[in-house]
Amino acid sequence: MRVKGKITQWDDDKGFGFIQPMLKATSKVERVFLHAKALQNRSRRPQVGEVVTYSMAKDQQGRSQAKGVTFAGEKQLVKSARATGSWPLKVVLLFFLLLAGACWFGKLHYYVLAGYAGLSLLTFIAYASDKQKAKNGRWRTPEATLQLMALIGGWPGALLGQSWLRHKSKKMAFLRVLWCCVLLNSALLIGVLWQPAILQLLVG
């Protein structure tokens, strides 16, 4: 059942707030927890006083929380079971296959492959940690830190983190910056392949 309510509190830095249900019953109704991941339109930030429609759910502690939240005038979206598909995994696998091939034919040193693998693992762990912090209402990892990790070579881990963990996968401003980091890093890698002296300059 869909319920209508009004946002009475919102902390944009932490990504959560509370909704006061707008029920006709005279008895007092407790407010409902709202997390940013429950918003269907994550490109729009909630404002105190806005009216929303949502479905009721329970967290692991049995507390009430909103899900499938839509702003007034928006239609509820039906999410596909394969929302993001498997393309991020395919992209990452293809990238590492090409990277391994370049190492095999002597175009790159194997420590470049190891570096990408290590940075990707660290970036994936950072995404997982940030998602857990968001669930627990703890201090979040700065987005600039996640983007920097992607820029220096951890972007495969970022793609897998978004796909598998469903984290940072709907915020368009974040995604635009991430893909700029992917393109910049890829351009540098291509430059190294064509001009090995670039790599020697970077590593000293």
User: Which residue ranges make up each domain of the chain?
Assistant: 2-71, 87-202
| The pLDDT value given to residue 154 | 96
Which is more confident, 156 or 43?
156
**Mean pLDDT, rounded, of the chain:** 83
Query: At residue 1, does pLDDT exceed 50?
Result: yes
Tell me: pLDDT of 42 over 80. Answer: no
Residue 126 in 3-state DSSP? helix
Quickly count: other Cβ atoms within 10 Å of residue 178's Cβ: 21
Would you say 147 and 181 are in contact if contact means Cβ atoms under 8 Å apart?
Answer: yes
pLDDT digits (tens, 9 = 90+) for 97-132: 999 999 998 888 899 999 999 999 999 999 999 988
The most confident of 82-86, 167-171, 178-182, 200-204, by mean pLDDT? 178-182
Q: Which CATH number fits domain 2-71: 3.30.360.10, 2.40.50.140, 3.40.50.300, 3.10.20.90?
A: 2.40.50.140
Residue 194 confidence (pLDDT):
76
The closest alpha carbon to 93, from 65, 116, 64, 67, belongs to: 116
pLDDT tens for each residue of 44-77? 788 888 888 888 888 777 778 888 888 877 765 5
* Distance between CA atoms of residues 54 and 68, nearest Å: 6
Looking at the DSSP assignment, which residues form a beta bridge with residue 20? 6
Q: In whole angstroms, what is the distance from residue 39 CA to residue 162 CA?
A: 16
Per-range mean pLDDT, top range of 11-15, 150-154, 187-191:
150-154
Query: If you average pLDDT over each of 5-9, 25-29, 42-46, which comes out highest?
Result: 5-9
Whether the predicted pLDDT of 89 surpasses 80:
yes
**E strand intervals along 40-92:** 51-58, 64-71
Of 52-61, 155-164, 184-193, which range is least confident? 52-61
Split at pLDDT 50, 70, 90, the class of 168 is confident
pLDDT of residue 36: 85
Model pTM score: 0.58
